[in-house]
């Protein structure tokens, strides 16, 4: 056996509490929605350029990172991220008659984030050598 360094990547232990990924995604979604609203002065973030230039890319990075550390929760993270946005949207306008439609549109808009989740999970598998 040689005394040289191993060429194998270090083993990444699974993080505790898989539900923590969902909570983080909820917080990132709600904070991103609120940040875009405040930066643009609009009541709905998706009407602003700040949402598409700042918040949405942040959501993609968040889902990728969360799926890397919690690969089994990758589909939950994008749904939780959309739910976090919807909760803030509802809190700002609780009497909105189009709220159910808004939640559906939010899920559809966040669906491309599943690609980031899948990429994060694949990076995790690649790092572990599978």
Alpha-carbon distance 34 to 38, whole Å? 6
CB count within 10 Å of CB 24 equals 19
The answer to whether the pTM exceeds 0.75 is yes
Which pair of structure tokens corresponds to residue 15? 């993080």
Give tens-digit pLDDT for 87-100: 898 888 776 677 77
Q: Which of 115, 118, 109, 99 is nearest to 55 (CA)?
A: 109
Alpha-carbon distance 59 to 47, whole Å? 17
Give tens-digit pLDDT for 39-87: 999 888 888 999 999 999 999 999 999 989 888 877 788 889 988 998 8
Which pair of structure tokens corresponds to residue 54? 């700042």
If residue 120 lies in a helix (H) or strand (E), which one and from where to where?
Answer: helix 113-128
Q: What does the pLDDT read at residue 9?
A: 63
């Amino acid at each position: 056996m040689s005394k040289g360094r191993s060429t194998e990547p270090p083993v990444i232990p699974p993080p505790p509490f898989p539900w923590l990924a969902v909570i983080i995604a909820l917080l990132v979604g709600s904070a991103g929605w609120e940040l875009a609203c405040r930066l643009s002065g609009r009541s709905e973030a998706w009407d602003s350029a700040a949402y598409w230039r700042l918040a949405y890319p942040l959501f993609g990075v968040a889902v990728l990172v969360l799926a890397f550390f919690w690969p089994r929760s990758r589909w939950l993270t994008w749904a939780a991220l959309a739910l976090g946005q919807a909760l803030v949207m509802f809190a700002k306008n609780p009497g909105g008659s189009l709220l159910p439609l808004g939640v559906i549109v939010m899920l559809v808009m966040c669906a491309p984030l599943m690609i980031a989740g899948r990429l994060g999970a694949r990076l995790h598998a690649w790092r572990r050598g599978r």
